[in-house]
Amino acid sequence: MKRRRLFFLMIILWNYRH
């Protein structure tokens, strides 16, 4: 379940930069 956390972090970062 570590990949899920990384994925979530990536999405948040992407949305933040957008």
> What does the pLDDT read at residue 14?
95
- Token look-up 């990384």 returns 6
pTM above 0.85, yes or no: no
Q: Which pLDDT score, from 0 to 100, does residue 17 have?
A: 80
Taking CA atoms, 17 is separated from 3, 5, 6, 9, in Å, by: 21, 18, 16, 12
Q: Please give the pLDDT value at position 11.
A: 95
Calpha distance 18→1 (Å, rounded): 26
pLDDT in tens, the chain (18 residues): 677 899 999 999 999 887
